[in-house]
Structure 1
Amino acid sequence: MKISLLLSVFAVSILGIYSEVNIPPTCKRIECPIYDVIEAGKDYQIRRYNSSVWISNSPIEDISLVEATRTGFRRLFDYIQGNNNYKQKIEMTGPVLSEVLPSDGPFCKSSFVVSFYVPKLNQANPPPAKGLQVQRWKNVYAAVRQFDGFVSDTDVGKEAAALKDSIAATKWSSFIDQSRKAGGHASVYSVAQYNSPFEFDNRVNEIWFLFDLENGLQAM
């Protein structure tokens, strides 16, 4: 199983299977985390992200992903503008990532962790700041679905359900379930937003199901 996966990754790197359509236009002008496309399925991609560093809010309790992301974004934007212990300005990156831990009921608050990707220049020593945490990710996999327009609370649930349906009959669904049981990423899904609120064209958003493939392989 592991050998087969490695061969697939090797084939991707040799053949250059990167679709320009699937790279958010924003990432051509600002820094974004690097990934390999492991599989391009119908309405989804499986990506392997290299180890990376993120700066994150403490969990925000809210019934709205849109409002929680707005709250988290303001805190993080102040951080990169120099409101940190080093008074250091940091370049804006993409995406703004909101990890979602849904509540048990329709009218209960969910938890949202909003994060900025830390540029490579700052990853070795990201400035600390009160109320923010540094997340250091090892290599991680993601099942990804893209959608356009402005993110709304209603659309996010629909897009996450569509991604779940797209991978339901694949091995990736099992890997994700097993990874979660083995203590992988706790979020049910994450929402990646690549555009500023003032950009109206070529908007790209993504739903991510993050998972640890090694945990999934070991549990299969």
Structure 2
Amino acid sequence: MAIFDLLKLSFLVSLLSESNSVSSINGGGVAVFPPTCERIECPSYDVIHGGDGFEIRRYNSTMWVSTQPIDDISLVDAGRIAFFQLYDYIQGKNDNHQKMEMTAPVITEVKPSDGPFCASSFVVSFYIPKANQATAPSAEGLHLQKWGVTYVAVRQFSGFVMDDDVGKEVSALYESIAGTVWSDAIDKSHADEAATQYIVAQYNSPFEFKNRVNEIWLTFNWEDGLAI
């Protein structure tokens, strides 16, 4: 394997690795553009609203390649399990033997688990580059997710993602949107017990120890959003 490929491998593994430092950005703020997105492709979005400790974004149609649900008690451990399937996929282990560029963020959807001893079920996804979305191939054990226009409530935090801190960031996001015009729409979209509870988005290379940006996403439907 070439040195560049080894660096990419290390990058993506570390995005899903455990560490010991998570802190809020500007006390739980938003509007920090992930530095990674200046170097590699990220999905584009429009900022619809900037609130106190949260941001509302509108993502246009995007394509993701995703793992099957992984039942585990740890988001970090589930990410390690998922990584190799997704990395192999962009390296050409797919039905078309098609290679793709690395993108960000790596997202992990957290859902209720069907397993009797597992707290959550995790689906880990890579964003498909725009150049490959129209021809994105399938692969054994993976599936493609095409998102339509999607509204997302976002909270940012820094450091390396740890299981113990993710729940705190999710709670803080819910607290910041409580009582706002967005609250009812978000609560309604997450009322289904089988729905995705939240998404963790990770952007940075493991070699970046400063200005790390991670995000909690709450996706929701907003029928009147275009009129805001």
Cα 1:167/1:77, change in 2 over 3 Å: same
- 1:152 aligns with 162
Amino acid in the other structure paired with 2:66: S
Please state which structure has a larger fraction of its residues in helix: 1
Which segments of 5 or more consecutive residues in structure 2 lack a partner in the other structure? Answer: 1-29
Residue 41 of structure 1 pairs with residue 51 of structure 2: yes
Q: Any idea what SS the aligned residue of 1:171 has? A: coil
- 1:141 is displaced (CA, Å) by 0.3
- 1:118 aligns with 128
Counterparts of 1:119 and 1:208, CA distance in 2: 20
Between 1:157-166 and 1:77-86, the stretch displaced more is: 77-86
Match of 2:173 among 157, 163, 173: 163
Cα 1:215/1:65, change in 2 over 3 Å: farther
1:7-156 paired onto structure 2 within 5 Å: 22-103=32-113, 108-156=118-166
Amino acid in the other structure paired with 1:206: E
- 1:186 aligns with 195
Where in structure 1 do 4 or more consecutive aligned residues deviate above 3 Å?
102-105
Amino acid in the other structure paired with 2:92: G
Match of 1:196 among 205, 217, 221: 205
Amino acid in the other structure paired with 2:200: V
Q: How many residues align?
A: 196
- 1:117 is displaced (CA, Å) by 0.6
TM-score, with length taken from structure 2: 0.80
Deviations 1:33-67 (A, max 9, x none): 11010111111000000111000001011100011
- 1:88 is displaced (CA, Å) by 1.5
Counterparts of 1:104 and 1:155, CA distance in 2: 24
Aligned partners of 1:100 and 1:110 also within 8 Å:
yes
Q: CA RMSD in A?
A: 2.4
Which segments of 5 or more consecutive residues in structure 1 lack a partner in the other structure? Answer: 1-19
Q: Which has the higher contact order (CA 8 A, sep 6+)?
A: 2
Q: Percent identity, please.
A: 63
Counterparts of 1:215 and 1:109, CA distance in 2: 35
- 1:21 is displaced (CA, Å) by 5.0
